[in-house]
Chain A
Amino acid sequence: MPVQRTDALAVRSASDVVAVRQLVRTRAQEAGFNLVDQTRIVTAASELARNTLDYGGGGRATIELLTEPGRTGLRMLFEDEGPGIPDIELALRDGYTTGHGLGLGLGGARRLMNDLRIESRPGKGTRVDAVRWR
């Protein structure tokens, strides 16, 4: 997939989560997503960035604008060097949380995006790769 544009942001504080949302919103607008899709992508970015911060102990976000013949997409990569996710299926289950949230963020983000992949190694970190096509 040809990458048209890449932005990298640190995710180290709550204000960084706001910065990620704002950048994703701008890129989604540029990619021509409609308002509903923009809101879906921004909301997914918010969930994933906060997971990186709260559970991964901080990390980084990479936002890519993708172009393929006939379609445009937005890819969001969230990486951390935190404790990792021991059971990814369980983490994706609605209502399951190891924190104090609703336990809907990760599963919700997967429903909001077209494709969401999680790679995690306990003790090494987590990498969440999410794409939405227009």
Chain B
Amino acid sequence: MPPSQPSVLATVLDQDRGDVLKAWIQDQMAGGAARPDLMQPSELQDQSSQFLDLLAAAVNAGSARDGAAWHAVRQFLAGISSSRAAQGFTPVDTATFVLSLKQALLGRLQQRSGDATRFAAELWSMTTLIDELALYTTSVALEARERIIARQQEEMLELSTPVVKLWDGILALPMIGTLDSARTQVVMESLLQRIVQTGAEVAIIDITGVPTVDTLVAQHLIKTVTAARLMGAECIISGIRPQIAATIVHLGVDLTNVDTKATLADAFRLALRRTGHALGRATGSERA
């Protein structure tokens, strides 16, 4: 738009502010964008009014989107995007809030444009602008969601698998989830660390909670067993389900040098025997 010609949108936002605001709020109520279940009418009135003021200031400042006035518009939209998300609005609701302004502006724009050519040009620039601002609220919502996902991923990495003591000289490491991540290294090292600290003779690695055992997982297990052996501890791998056993055979992974058991209970029994313990049912006189 040539700078000599004042934008009709600027005039509408200045001269018809009251009418536009009223029509916009009515449209929001009628169109379902208002969500009275989530937000008080007074708050909606405030948000709509503030947005119109900021938009008017920005349109007056010019079409270049990098000025301070446009920055204020975007900041406001980012603010309501997150506050609305907290209130339970979906990103679509928030974008609809901005988009619903089009209808209210349309009539006024037509009235003040005069001829059809001018109106077409004004309509195009208005609709481009509103779309841009609505998309901005969506991108803010997406960014917020991505931050949450990134934080959850970090929390997952921090989930430490504890090394538990089952008996004197017997440790157990119940592994859960994906074993090919950076987590595996940490978990395996913590097992070796505990073997040193406790002087354990037997460590049971239980993989009941590991959905897939491929060659990388097998390699991690073999490495850990070998390292533990060098430190004088024997490992037993438990939780080998039938389907995992079949797969390991097809993969050609050699676990013949490693003691394996189907269940943690079986592994524990073997560990007790290895460490010279015997478990039996107490006879009548011994029972507490």
Contacts and interface: CB of A to CB of B under 8 A. Distances in A.
Contacts of B180: 14, 17-18, 46, 50
Q: How large is the interface on B (under 10, 10 to 19, 20 to 34, 35 or more residues)?
A: 20 to 34
Nearest to A97: B215
Contacts of B219: 101-102
Contacts, number: 70
Interface residues on A, range: 20 to 34
Contact of B215 (A18, A42, A47): A47
Interface residues of A, dominant DSSP = helix
Given A101-B219, A102-B218, A108 B250 contact: yes
A101 B253 CA distance: 12
A46 B243 contact: no
Given A50-B180, A107-B252, A111-B252, A102 B215 contact: yes
A43 B213 contact: yes
Interface string B168-207: 0000000000101100000000000000000000000000
A43 B251 contact: yes
A128 interface: no
Given A43-B213, A50-B180, A101-B219, A38 B243 contact: yes
A46 B250 contact: no
A104 B153 CA distance: 30
B242 interface: yes
Nearest to A48: B214
Interface string B273-287: 000000000000000
A36 interface: yes
Task: Label chain B's interface by main secondary structure.
Answer: helix
A108 B246 contact: no
A46 B218 contact: no
B34 to A, nearest CB: 39
Interface string A40-68: 10110011001000000000000000000
Interface string B223-256: 0000000000000000000111011001111000
Contacts of A112: 247, 250-251
B243 A35 contact: yes
Given A102-B215, A105-B251, 4 more contacts: A17-B180, A18-B180, A46-B212, A108-B252
Interface of A: 14-15, 17-18, 21, 25, 35-36, 38-40, 42-43, 46-47, 50, 94, 101-102, 104-105, 107-108, 111-112
Closest 7 pairs (CB-CB, A-B): A108-B251, A39-B243, A46-B214, A36-B243, A111-B250, A104-B215, A102-B215
